[in-house]
Structure 1
């Protein structure tokens, strides 16, 4: 499992994230923590203490912030250096794993050998750890791929991927500072890899107050580009998909309160669509 942390990640949240991994019912894993750039000495000390107490933890540090995609690629290269690691798993430094997360994903992958990328649903929590929402994605490969021109259909912090995906040369685009996962899913879907999502909420995702302000113009434009790339690579150019991409771009540029309302409506509509 790969976890990337930055200087602005609260130490309490980071400790919760690590504890949620160490207390998994599935115990045969390594947790690679990548410190992405300079951080407070107290945080480094805390991480090294975790590593001293549990040999499954490996701590690495970059001299400067290289971006999430570059960090994930570094973690992938590290994993490929050891033959015993068959799956690549990730989470964010402020998230919390359900105790059964790894076991349930591992068991599913063992039973479904054709599935290469497996995500799960998640629960959204606020700064105080209170539930504020959820995000359930489509379960079947056909729907996941069909919807890619309109949305990123996997919750990135929940994914488990087979080693073979990376042995065959696929990586995150390190030139991107955001939406790296969306572009990777499009690349893998075009290459014919099979996706699935578990309906169970196996991760608590931290949705903080500035969540609706984070996207900015650069992220919105990258999402717009990703949608058109999905249409091109997956041969899904339709009037509806094009109109959807344009309308979402315009929505992203509106005030945060409008985006917040649209986000909540989107969650409701997505869950209803998946149920039917």
Structure 2
């Protein structure tokens, strides 16, 4: 996970504790401190590192963003000769069986390279406010890529073979880096899968709908166009969807919030598992 100056120390503590307490215990938790952070946040992280030697702290001399932070962790990870790379954000909470469930699945399904899961959305107080269920099969995931990022990024576990093959997050992107990576991997024949299990509690705070911003909206549009081109999935439906979502993103936050909730309900009801 990457930690930034604005991260809430209490949420970071919950995130780290949820990994430290996993039923699967053979891991290294790499925390990338992305630029300068406050004393309280640093003390929270340092206290865990001092009590558990599975924690590894990496430091960026300035805030580079998530993509470069993850690439930093990937490169350092090569020193351990790992089999898997597991993502998580610093304000989320993993279920206690997350690692065991995903790694167990990948151990029995050697053809799958990228494995995600469903997630539960929680608010600032940890109360459930929604869910995000993604399509399960590789065919569904790739078919949906021209319209949406069909993997929940904080839930993914990736075989390290992907990185041995030279793939990385695009460090020039400050957002949507995962979306572009999935498209690139799909284009190169890697297989995806999503578990129906909700293995992560994703923090959806009050300003979630406002934080998407114009830059992220245009990057999502570019990703959809990139998916259509790379995966040869040009269609009136896909193009119309991309344009429609871009227009929606530019609307007031309340409209975006209503559309987001409707989208999640439809995914929960109609996505096949």
Q: Distance in 2 between matches of 1:44 and 1:129?
A: 22
The answer as to 2:47 corresponding to 1:49 is: yes
- 1:68-147 paired onto structure 2 within 5 Å: 68-83=66-81, 85-147=82-144
Q: Deviations over 1:73-100 (max 9, x none)?
A: 00000111222x1100010000000000
Q: Distance in 2 between matches of 1:202 and 1:210?
A: 24
Q: Deviations over 1:158-198 (max 9, x none)?
A: 00000100000000000000000000000000000000000
User: 3-state SS of the aligned residue for 1:32?
Assistant: strand
1:221 paired residue number: 218
2:61 paired residue number: 63
1:4 paired residue number: 2
**Structure 1: runs of 5 or more not aligned:** none
The answer as to 2:17 corresponding to 1:26 is: no
User: 3-state SS of the aligned residue for 1:201?
Assistant: strand
Following TM superposition, by how much is the alpha carbon of 1:19 offset from its aligned partner in structure 2, in angstroms?
Answer: 0.3
User: 3-state SS of the aligned residue for 1:187?
Assistant: helix
Superposition TM-score, scaled by structure 2 size: 0.99
**Structure 2: runs of 5 or more not aligned:** none
Q: Distance in 2 between matches of 1:271 and 1:233?
A: 28
User: 3-state SS of the aligned residue for 1:88?
Assistant: strand
Following TM superposition, by how much is the alpha carbon of 1:273 offset from its aligned partner in structure 2, in angstroms?
Answer: 2.1
Q: Distance in 2 between matches of 1:82 and 1:103?
A: 19
Aligned residues: 273
* CA RMSD after TM alignment: 0.8
Following TM superposition, by how much is the alpha carbon of 1:11 offset from its aligned partner in structure 2, in angstroms?
Answer: 0.5
- 1:113-262 paired onto structure 2 within 5 Å: 113-262=110-259
Following TM superposition, by how much is the alpha carbon of 1:45 offset from its aligned partner in structure 2, in angstroms?
Answer: 2.1
Q: Deviations over 1:124-178 (max 9, x none)?
A: 0000100000000000000000000000000000000001000000000000000
